[in-house]
Chains A and B, each alone.
Chain A
Amino acid sequence: MRRDPLTRRSFVRMTGLASVAAQSKWLHAAVGSDRWTDLASSRRPRFAFVGATGPNEGVHLFAIENERWSLRQIVRSAAPVSLALHPSSRTLYVLNEISEFQGLPTGSVEAYRIDKSTRQLDLLGRQALSLSATMPRHLAVSPDGKSLAVAVHGGGAYNLLPILEDGQLGRVRSILKETGSGPANGHQETAHPQSIVFDPTGSRFIAADLGSDRVSVLSVEDGLGALVRHTMPPGSGPRNLALHPNGQLLVVDHALDGSLSLLRYDSATGTITKRGPRFHGPFGSALAIDPSGDFLYAAGPAELNVWRIKPSIGALTRLQSQPMEKEVTAIVPHPNGSRIFAVTSKGVLRIKFDVWSEKQKSSALMAAVNGARCLAIL
């Protein structure tokens, strides 16, 4: 790989704080050593599940071979808005963003068994959320694989469901009903929980609430209970969360004012403190941190940004910002780094980066799925 030394120098100057060790690791990855290649090979995704609404409503299964995606199955599913794999990789959970289920005002979650060899989906069951839990937005599975948490936009609540031995979901075990509002007319009349991320202990999750401008820490151990309420700037509308692999750096994007916030999270105590300046975007559409912890990807309504992370001091340096034809609604980093899968209403894009040149290296539509909303890779 040929690198432009000027560009590299400017990159190092920009980051300013990057340690030699981190650079070294990054360089190592960038030149593609044998060791890395081996590692990459073992973590290469083989299958992708794409949730879509509209005429293609359902979950679409793609097999990935030689970086080509081929459609293998479509299962009908009502408004799949968020997907999560069980840690065992044996079950896929699909959140239905609906306002009525079986005549009642609530959403639902589906559990699908994933076939060991073909990865085809087979519906295990569909569980109602709590009464009034309409238009749920996001789900997450606890690290121990025993619980599933749901952020409910419409009903302003969180639900916790037990995951049974066979992967099926039990009835909602715990409900936390939220109240609160903000100054943004039309968006913040009530609480609107948006996203959830479990912390490394698995005994808590962190949640963003667009309606009440809050990031909260909730305990899941003895039913849902609020441990921490961290207030964000009024009218900002926190939407997506990304917790750094070190468990300490928490990134929040804000859908209403398009900003990005950095918070310090203490996994030992479950507390949140403010950390670093706010960045102004527009951001707030999708957010993800690379598994290496070195890069942050943040999308706004019409652009995609890549940032270099220095987690020890919470520094972010923007590396790239590029316009997007369609809004990115979900970002899934490739396990090997240096590329992401970005979900837009046209389908799933694979975007490769070359941070040395500060430019997008390539972008390819891997799966043309109109109405795509969410993605999980296996």
Chain B
Amino acid sequence: MAIVVSRQDPRYEALNRGHNLRWPAVDADAASRIVLCQSMNDAAEALQQIVSAGMRPTVRSGAHCYEDFVANNPNGAILDMSLLKEVGPGANGSGYRIQAGTMLWDVYVELYKRYGVTLPGGSCGTVGAGGHICGGGYGLLSRLHGLTCDWLTSVDILTVDAQGKVIARTADATHDADLFRACRGAGGGNFGVITSYNFDKLPPAPTEVMQAYVEFLWKDTSVDRFVQIMKTYGEFWERRGPVPDTWGLFSVMNLSHQSHEGFGISVQFCNPDGTCRDLSVLNEYLDLFVPCGGVSTQSGAVGISSAQKPQAPQHNGRTPAETVCVGQHTMRRRTWFSATGDDAGGPGSSHGKYKSVYMKRGFSEAEARCMYKHMQRTIPGVNLRGSVFEIDSYGGAINKKEMLTATSASQRSSIIKMQPMTFWSDPEEEAPRSQWIREFYTELYSGPDADPQHPGVPYPSDKYEGCYINYPDRDMLAYPYWPQLYYGSGDLYPFLQKVKRKYDPNNIFHHAMSIRV
């Protein structure tokens, strides 16, 4: 039986908000109850009760939504799936079933220990499978193995028909195939409540990985050198990224505001066979940054998703790492499992504003100069510490074009995915920080590389490929063409609208950026 946490419950205060403490922004936005499902039947029954009562359900698993899509639900009900966290064989005894509430770290542990396989998902381990996979989740192994949604075979999902009746479906390539495609990348909170993800096959987990970190100090970085770093970074992924021998290489530049001492590039590498026998690609990559003043150090972690202020879960006690010097570079050799654990992330404790962009090509000089300007910018009375652009390598196996029509993740030509972020703890900082990041972003995409018809945003073009729905940004609602930023300018969005009308005719599942009917 589902657990109902109402406003009087001592757990309410902790559970009515997620990792991003910005939401609910005011008490009037808060849900009246959180319904914790303990079984699949609970989920169906609770959803039916919520709908029959004329309330709005919002759905969450890991509670990592960047925007207010879940927590802003005035007097509604949050359907919490986080207690549904089994990972096991599929319905017919083969394959793998991951319940929607499972946190990614638990997904990795279960899949690794039981089966030796993994999901090419994100590095923040407390993110829930529910929103991650249906939004086209990616991670350090995605260049090697594609997006999480690329591996899906079916989803178990609860929808609500026109009469308000809850319907349990298993959508796959032959049953409700349109809904299945929509659940492969269009994002959460659109069509129903996904209770499980099913996979016939998953890729083997790598045996080992190499981790490296290249550090740059702001005091040594002139604007010209900065331009050189950015162009070097982008050119590598543009030129070498599509070649399969690099697909086991994943890199994140953590471009921090100058209120931090410096910034750096984290790298995780394995060969396509999941070993580290041949490090030539890694060395080739690290060599590029030596002339730019980059120093390979052990101090930095891979640090993906510092966005969520990760704290490594201590599942393994001290994680074994062997320091390796290859050529002039210092790096760490680790088992893939311990490396992944260190990056898994902990509960959120801050307020955050996020944006995103997909890039089909590397950085131009104009872009690099704009980024330098804003990263060097100071605003009197405003502390911009905790402001960072995470610049992820992308592409590789993700860019298999056959996935364009099989999934709803439309960005299949990009080589970089960037996530501008800023974090604070005092609510008063929200306005100036939001303004800083908005001005930065708007200027960056109003330059010579931007589509002149769509200034201020990375509208799909030869250079850009829009934004990522799992890094949603309500600022984009100011543009009438915001759906094209997230779903492309082709026929995907009209397709998703059709699926929406068919499977959620009442628009029961909605939020600020859900598919519009």
20 A/B residue pairs, CB under 8 Å, sorted by A: A103-B477, A103-B512, A104-B512, A105-B514, A130-B56, A130-B74, A131-B512, A132-B507, A155-B507, A175-B56, A177-B55, A177-B56, A179-B160, A179-B162, A180-B162, A181-B163, A189-B162, A189-B505, A190-B505, A190-B506
| Bound CA span A169–B52, Å | 28
List, in ascending order, chain A residues with CB within 8 A of B514's CB: 105
Residue of A105, A174, A179, A180 contacting most chain B CB atoms (<10 Å): A179
With contacts defined as CB atoms under 8 Å apart, how many contacts are there between chain A and chain B in the complex?
Answer: 68
- Give chain B residues whose Cβ lies under 8 Å from the Cβ of A105: 510, 514, 516
Determine the residue in chain B with the shortest Cβ distance to A191. B506
Contacts of A226 in B (CB 8 A): 54
> Once the chains bind, are A223 and B477 in contact (CB under 8 Å)?
no
Does B478 count as interface, using CB distance less than 8 angstroms? Answer: yes
**CB of A204 to closest CB in B, whole Å:** 15
Chain B residues with CB below 8 A from A225, complex form: 54
A171 vs B27: C-alpha distance when bound (angstroms): 12
Which residues on A are within 8 Å of B, measured CB to CB?
A: 102-105, 130-132, 155-157, 171-172, 174-181, 189-191, 223-226
B511 interface residue per 8 A CB criterion: yes
* Pick from B55, B164, B477: contact of A180, CB under 8 Å: B164
A181 to B478, CA, bound (A): 33
B51 near A: Cβ within 8 Å?
A: yes
B152 interface residue (CB < 8 Å to A): no
Interface centre among B51, B74, B505, B507 (most CB of A within 10 A): B507
Contact with A along B472-503 (1 / 0, CB 8 A): 00100110001000000000000000000000
Chain A hits for B162, CB < 8 A: 179-181, 189-190
* Any A CB within 8 A of the CB of B326: no
Name the prevailing secondary structure of the A interface residues.
Answer: loop
Cα separation A224 to B506 with both chains bound (whole Å): 18
Residues of B within 8 A of A130 (CB): 56, 74
Report whether A178 and B54 are in contact in the complex, using a CB–CB cutoff of 8 Å.
Answer: yes
For residue B76, CB closer than 8 A to chain A, the reply is yes
Q: B446 in the interface, Cβ–Cβ < 8 Å?
A: no
**Which chain B residue lies CB-closest to A182?**
B162
In the bound complex, do residue B54 and residue A180 qualify as a contact, i.e. CB atoms below 8 Å apart? no
Give the shortest distance, in Å, between A316 (CB) and chain B (any CB).
Answer: 33
**Interface footprint category on B:** 20 to 34
What's the Cα separation between A175 and B56 when bound, in Å? Answer: 8
The reply to whether the CB of B508 lies closer than 8 angstroms to some CB of chain A is: yes
The verdict on A156 contacting B163 (CB below 8 Å), with A178-B54, A224-B54 known, is no
Mark each residue of chain B from 68 to 93: 1 if its CB lies under 8 Å from any CB of chain A, else 0.
00001011100000000000000000
Nearest neighbor of B501 in chain A, beta-carbon distance: A189
Residues of A within 8 A of B482 (CB): 103
**Cα–Cα, bound, A131→B514 (Å):** 11
Nearest A residue (CB) for B73: A131
Min CB–CB distance B89 → chain A (angstroms): 36
- The reply to whether the CB of B28 lies closer than 8 angstroms to some CB of chain A is yes
Give the residues in chain A near B164, CB-CB below 8 Å.
179-180
Within 8 Å by CB of A132, from B163, B474, B505, B510, lies: B510
Kindly identify which residue among B76, B506, B510, B512 contacts A179, using a CB–CB cutoff of 8 Å: B506
Residues on B with beta carbons closer than 8 Å to the beta carbon of A131: 56, 72, 510-512
Residues on A with C-beta less than 8 A from B508 are 177, 179
B contact residues around A155 at 8 Å (CB): 507
Chain B min CB distance to A239 (Å):
19
Shortest beta-carbon distance from A228 to chain B in Å: 14
Chain B residues whose C-beta falls within 8 Å of the C-beta of A132 in the assembled complex? 56, 507, 510
Which residues of A have CB within 8 Å of B163? Answer: 179-181
**Shortest Cβ distance from A213 into chain B, in angstroms?**
12
Give the chain A neighbours of B56 by CB distance below 8 A.
130-132, 175, 177
In the bound assembly, the distance between CA atoms of A172 and B482 in angstroms comes to 26
In the complex where A189-B162, A190-B505, A191-B506 touch, is A171 in contact with B28 (Cβ < 8 A)? yes
Q: Is the CB of B505 within 8 A of A181?
A: yes
Give the 8 A-B residue pairs with the shortest CB-CB distance, closest first.
Answer: A179-B164, A103-B477, A181-B162, A176-B54, A132-B510, A177-B54, A179-B506, A190-B505
Q: How far is the CB of A222 from chain B (nearest CB, A)?
A: 11
Q: Give Cα A364 to B305, complex, Å.
A: 71
- Residue numbers in A under 8 Å from B76 (CB-CB): 175
Task: Name the residue on B nearest A172 (C-beta).
Answer: B74
Enumerate B146-189 residues with CB–CB distance to A below 8 Å. 160, 162-164
Q: Which residue of A lies closest to B76 (CB)?
A: A175
Q: Please state if B506 and A175 are interface contacts (CB–CB under 8 Å).
A: no
Q: State in angstroms the CA–CA spacing of A51 and B507 once bound together.
A: 29
* Distance between Cα atoms of A172 and B506 in the complex (Å): 20
Cβ–Cβ contact B55 & A103, under 8 A:
no
Interface centre among A174, A181, A224, A226, by most chain B C-beta atoms within 10 angstroms, is: A181
When distances are taken between beta carbons in the complex, the residues of chain B under 8 Å from A189 are 162, 505
Are B74 and A175 in contact (CB-based, < 8 A)?
A: yes
A156 touches B507 (CB 8 A): yes
In the bound complex, do residue A223 and residue B507 qualify as a contact, i.e. CB atoms below 8 Å apart? no
Nearest CB in chain A: distance from B499 CB, A: 15
Q: Which residues from A are CB-within-8-Å of B28? A: 171
Complex: A102 Cα to B474 Cα, angstroms: 11
* Shortest CB distance B511–A (Å): 7
The smallest beta-carbon distance between B26 and chain A, in angstroms, is 8
Cβ proximity bits B363-375 to A, threshold 8 Å, 1 near / 0 not: 0000000000000
